[in-house]
Amino acid sequence: MKSKTSFTGDILVTIQKEKILGIRAGADSTHKVIGIWAVVVEGRVFVRSYSMKPRSWWRTFLEDPQGIIVIANKEFPIRAVQTRSERLKDLVSAAYKEKYNRPGDIQYVKDMSKKKSRDTTTELVMV
């Protein structure tokens, strides 16, 4: 397995600042780019699935971990790595709570911190 490659500081700042990250799951490009929430924890990028539908980006990544993110209208190849660490999952929950704190976000953040969504915590790694 390849070693993890970090995003550059400028990209991390942009991801942390922007509320929505463009993502396409899978190398075969059958999925379109969609917007999802992303957080930066310990200099790493994490995302979670809210719905976990059968054809969701998260389920696609389980079968094919290659994909892209779109930042400032540029595409970057990524690999999705499922997170097992409960410590990191706790930090990701806290990061979501801090970043997505508008009134309309709060219930989604609560739901995404429950076990079902928490278990979808995925790190996005540049390739």
Ordered domains of the chain (ranges, CATH): 9-126 (2.30.110.10)
Q: Count Cβ atoms below 10 Å from residue 32 Cβ, excluding itself.
A: 7
Q: Count Cβ atoms below 10 Å from residue 54 Cβ, excluding itself.
A: 6
CA-wise closest residue to 19 among 110, 91, 119, 102: 102
Strands 38-41 and 21-25: unpaired
Q: What is the pLDDT of residue 53?
A: 85
CA-wise closest residue to 49 among 40, 64, 38, 41: 38
Tokens of residue 48, six digits? 């979670």
Does residue 1 surpass a pLDDT of 70?
no
Alpha-carbon distance of 90 to 126, in angstroms, equals 23
Tokens of residue 123, six digits? 């790190």
Name the β-bridge partners of 25: 67
Tokens of residue 71, six digits? 């930042």
Give per-residue pLDDT as tens, 71-99. Answer: 988 999 999 999 999 999 999 999 999 99
Give per-residue pLDDT as tens, 9-66. Answer: 899 999 999 999 999 999 876 778 999 999 999 999 999 999 888 888 999 999 999 9
DSSP string, 107-126: HHHHHHTSHHHHTT-EEEEE
